[in-house]
Amino acid sequence: MKTFPMFIKMAGRRVVIVGGGEQAAQKTRLMLKTDAQIVVLSDMLDDELAALAASGRITQQRGTISTRDFEQTALVFIATGCPGADSALHGVAKAAGATVNVVDQPALCDAITPSIVDRDPVVVAIGTEGTAPVLARQIKTQVEQMLEPNLGDLAALAGRLRASAAQRLAPRLRRDLWRWVFGDAPRRKYTSGGVREAAQMIKQAIATGDFEHDTGGSVALVGAGPGAKDLITLRGVQRLQEADVIYYDRLVDPEILELARRDAQRVYVGKRPGCHSWPQEKITQTMLASAKSGARVVRLKCGDPGVFARSLEEIDALRDADIPFEIVPGVTAACGAAAAVGQTLTEREAIDTLILTTGHFTDGSAIPNAVKNLSPGSCVALYMAVAAAPAISTYLSARHAADQISVTIVAHAQTDRQIVATCDVASLPATLAQHGIKNTATLLLKLRKNTVPVNSAVPPHTAKTAAFRVAEGAMAHVTP
């Protein structure tokens, strides 16, 4: 971010607006939504500003403008309508140490006016750092449609009752209360016009602690997706925002954690190949202890929790302890890798079998059976197989039709560190070494139909598939 969004207290503070025309009137209308003291510096005012001055809602100041006019201000808006005059006045205001916004001159702005959705005291500000005001207005329109007109009144009621809730309810119960107020019956009742009924429901809940909510701990096994934070599901985001404790792995994008509540506890349980920061048993037992204490727990895993994520061990422990849990699926690595390079994992009349397998076996095996028995019409997506790549390459290179197997390597898929390379099976280890790929990569092996089976004794066709010719021509290229 080049600009930092922040809400500034304005009650009783001085705001100076320079100009007496339409641009100055626009800024004045905006500031009239606050409790600031508004001073307009201009000898002449248009009819709108003149009426506001006559009613005492703003103060007009005439005469020569100096640095003293900009001292002790919260904000200064310069809006004379003349770019040259605005630039000169900007220098005067900055000499006084003011925070300045110059209309239509982003380079001279310390602060940029956002598009605002006003449901006072609920305020949504949308900014594009001055690059795309039309986009900001489009987003504003969408948010306006999302938020009920009287939502601010419900928020104000909640504000008046917060002290009472703090006195009567424990922290966890308070969070559940406000989640219920804004996500359940009270909000529906308030929105439909039942203001008094909704208020009574909330007051009764505060007095008795009796409202619809979960009292015990729970665990959500959430798939974070293959990398980029915008590939997590909406349900995953919701669980993060509800969580009291989050246990997350090494490959989870740190930006995804920004989607969680600020006061949620974050526990790194990063596991590296061959060097586990936390043994699986410790992760499981610690997660169980948190849930048994009444916490809402999120176990955040890269990709999908059901694909090579050791989730079954955690699920069995949760079942044995009778702790409620749910699985929130995520985009698995194979899908993320294929999408990153514009491929599909299946192809009509060419690939009708998709196999997800691993190159990392606890029994020491190096070559998955899916690779040994690779047949035409198959795509094999290999997880955690970089270390096994030499053995896989040697095995497949000795088979018939090896030259018809296309290989796509995607490392750090869907992140800004993404590396993509294509090669044949013989050059797989060299390609990995060339690009410094040691782990965190997915290998996609494809053998399309109408080719000779890998284990066949029949000599291979001399003609290569069109798709492999493309892959061979782009061999070992890198996509930044």
Distance CA 476, CA 480 (A): 13
Question: How far apart are alpha carbons 212 and 422 in whole angstroms?
Answer: 55
Question: For the chain, first and last CA: distance in Å?
Answer: 22
Q: At what angle do helices 171-183 and 195-208 cross, to 10 degrees?
A: 160
Locate 202 and state its tokens: 């909330």
Beta strands 265-268 and 115-119 are unpaired
CB 52 within 8 A of CB 28: yes
How many Cα atoms are found within 13 Å in the side-chain-facing hemisphere of 91? Answer: 5
Say if residues 141 and 117 touch (Cβ distance below 8 Å).
no
**82/102 Cα distance (integer angstroms):** 11
Buried b (16+ CB within 10 A) or exposed e, 29-67: eebeebebbbbbbbeebeeebeebbeeeebebeeeebee
HSE at residue 114, side-chain half, CA atoms within 13 A, is: 16
446: which strand partners? 379, 406
Q: Within a 10 A sphere around the Cβ of 8, how many other Cβ atoms?
A: 11
DSSP string, 26-59: HHHHHHTTTT-EEEEE-S---HHHHHHHHTTSSE
Find out whether 332 and 356 touch, Cβ atoms under 8 Å.
yes
Taking the alpha carbons of 83, 89, 95, 98 in that order, is the dihedral positive or negative?
Answer: negative
- What are the residue numbers of the active site? 249, 271
Rounded CA separation 58/21 (Å): 14
Query: What are the strands, taking DSSP E only, across 286-362?
Result: 296-301, 325-328, 353-358
Q: How many residues does the structure list for the chain?
A: 480
Give start and end residues of each alpha helix (H) in 131-270.
133-146, 151-168, 171-183, 185-191, 195-208, 234-242, 254-257
